């Protein structure tokens, strides 16, 4: 990584919303769409007919990444930690009908009694079929990027709630530690199994650790409760000869030295120009790790295709000479990104 020069960067996106895939696969590629909701139901069963539904969905999924010009298929699946979600209307152009987010004030675990009653998921209930199927059905020249869906920071804040976590850090730090440890221990078992699957080229978890101006909790608390788990996951990946990349939204500048020197991440994804642009990040850290993505989501969503092309071209011209760079969205191909802008980004990157 970073050892070979190239005339154009690879393209990288961390996630593409199902609604975007649906539109492109069905209307532009002529494939029959398989609803992911059928897949979610099938994951909880083992009947042959269910496997066929799942296989059909993953065939579409692989075809999308292949036909769109990516040289990998990225997939993240994990434990089904019970949550208390909120639901509202989805107003995006390619609407899902509803959009959900996690409880922010009253988590499912607020005290030790809640901790003991919480229905913790079990490792033996995990189904690795999606990883195994993709691994054995990759087109020539493609590999798989894999991870647990959601990292320890995200699941900690979702289970405890952001407000609940903030209070418990001072009122009951032992409960925070116990919850973080239970989540981390489960993820270690997950990665032990995942890393035995062939054709994986990178481990790449998403774990949002910050907001616009700082980390979600103090760097001291990040170092105590969250980052040791990422260090362990990274060590597991490195032991298999695989890079460990990290997607994290928000301002993580105050913990970058820990991510580089202690966790030893190999690449960073999720960039927002209002926080730090990919160019500025590369100037500061590009001699140590890869810069992945970089096309600002607000710009991608609001500007014209021609303006997107100019933005992407400048991003490539600025970052490609430094090496260790892949171009793509700063976050994901969300269902509110105009399709024509997504195509403009890809077309300019692949020129």
Query: How much is the pLDDT for 91?
Result: 84
Report d(CA 232, CA 99) in Å as an integer. 33
143 SS3 class: strand
What structural domains and CATH numbers belong to the chain? 69-350 (3.20.20.210)
Query: How much is the pLDDT for 48?
Result: 43
Query: How much is the pLDDT for 90?
Result: 81
Contact 329, 293 (CB under 8 A): yes
Query: How much is the pLDDT for 88?
Result: 84
Contact 272, 296 (CB under 8 A): yes
pLDDT in tens, 227-242: 999 999 999 999 999 9
pLDDT in tens, 64-73: 999 999 999 9
Beta-bridge mates of residue 72: 143
Query: How much is the pLDDT for 47?
Result: 44
Which parts of the chain have pLDDT scores under 50? 46-48
In Å, what is the CA distance from 293 to each residue of 62, 89, 143, 203? 20, 29, 18, 16
Residue ranges of alpha helices (H) inside the chain are: 18-23, 36-43, 48-67, 112-117, 129-136, 152-160, 162-171, 173-194, 219-221, 227-239, 256-258, 278-285, 297-302, 305-319, 339-350
Report d(CA 202, CA 237) in Å as an integer. 8
Neighbours of 172 (CB within 10 A): 16
Q: Which two tokens stand for residue 95?
A: 């609407």
Report d(CA 221, CA 333) in Å as an integer. 31
Query: How much is the pLDDT for 41?
Result: 65
């Amino acid at each position: 990584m970073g050892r070979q020069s190239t005339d154009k960067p690879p393209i990288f996106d961390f996630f593409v919303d199902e609604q975007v895939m649906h539109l492109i696969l069905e209307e532009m590629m002529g494939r029959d769409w398989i609803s992911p909701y059928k897949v979610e139901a099938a994951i909880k069963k083992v009947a042959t007919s269910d496997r066929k539904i799942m296989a059909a969905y993953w065939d579409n999924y692989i075809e999308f990444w292949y036909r769109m010009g990516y040289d990998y298929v990225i997939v993240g699946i994990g434990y089904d930690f019970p949550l208390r979600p909120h639901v509202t209307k989805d107003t995006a152009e390619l609407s899902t009908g509803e959009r959900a987010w996690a409880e922010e004030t009253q988590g499912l675990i607020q005290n030790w009694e809640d901790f003991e009653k919480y229905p913790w998921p079990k490792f033996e209930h995990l189904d690795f079929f999606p990883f195994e199927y993709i691994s054995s059905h990759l087109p020539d020249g493609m590999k798989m990027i894999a991870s647990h869906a959601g990292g320890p920071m995200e699941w900690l804040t979702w289970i405890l709630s952001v407000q609940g976590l903030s209070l418990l850090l001072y009122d009951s730090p032992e409960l925070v530690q116990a919850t973080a440890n239970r989540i981390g221990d489960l993820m270690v078992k997950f990665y032990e199994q995942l890393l035995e699957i062939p054709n994986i080229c990178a481990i790449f978890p998403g774990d949002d650790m910050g907001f616009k101006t700082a980390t979600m909790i103090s760097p001291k608390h990040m170092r105590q409760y969250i980052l040791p788990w990422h260090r362990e996951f990274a060590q597991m990946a490195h032991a298999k000869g695989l890079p460990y990349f990290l997607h994290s939204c928000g301002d993580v500048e105050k913990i970058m030295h820990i991510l580089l020197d202690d966790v030893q991440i190999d690449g960073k994804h999720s960039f927002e120009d209002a926080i730090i642009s990919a160019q500025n990040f590369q100037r500061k850290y590009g001699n140590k790790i890869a810069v992945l993505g970089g096309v600002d989501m607000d710009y991608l969503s609001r500007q014209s295709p021609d303006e997107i092309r100019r933005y992407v071209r400048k991003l490539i011209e600025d970052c490609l000479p430094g090496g260790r760079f892949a171009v793509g969205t700063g976050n994901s191909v969300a269902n509110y990104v105009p399709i024509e802008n997504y195509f403009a980004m890809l077309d300019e990157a692949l020129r």
